[in-house]
Amino acid sequence: MPGYERAAFTAELTVTPSEIAKKPPKESFEAAKETAGASGLAHEAGPDSILLAGGRREVLEAATKTIDAALDAGAREVTLKVEAEGDALRFGDGDER
């Protein structure tokens, strides 16, 4: 996402499927992608990652639901990278906790 379009808060999730899960390996990523899409946040999905962008609270809630969906569908690992840009509210600041 270009810098000038960046939201104040982003979360990038990378889903690693399990090769020994009872479900097809790609199903864990598809479940995460579907859940992220349903969040209504701006998001991009790459070959194995999803980007959620918006306010801190809504991004963290959507990330939690997305992680749950991926794990429930058999993911072996979900990596989460969170970034707060510029004047984004930080932990302990404002009402968006």
| Spatial distance between the Cα atoms of 34 and 36, rounded to a whole number of angstroms | 5
Domain ranges of the chain: 3-84
This prediction's pTM: 0.78
**Per-residue pLDDT at 13:** 95
Nearest to 87 by CA among 96, 77, 78: 96
Q: What is the mean pLDDT of the chain?
A: 82
CATH of domain 3-84: 3.30.70.930
| Spatial distance between the Cα atoms of 27 and 41, rounded to a whole number of angstroms | 22
Say if residues 52 and 46 touch (Cβ distance below 8 Å).
no
Q: For the segment 17-73, what is each residue's pLDDT rounded down to a tens digit?
A: 887 767 777 899 999 999 999 999 877 777 889 999 999 999 999 999 999 999 999
pLDDT category of residue 1 using cuts at 50, 70 and 90: very low
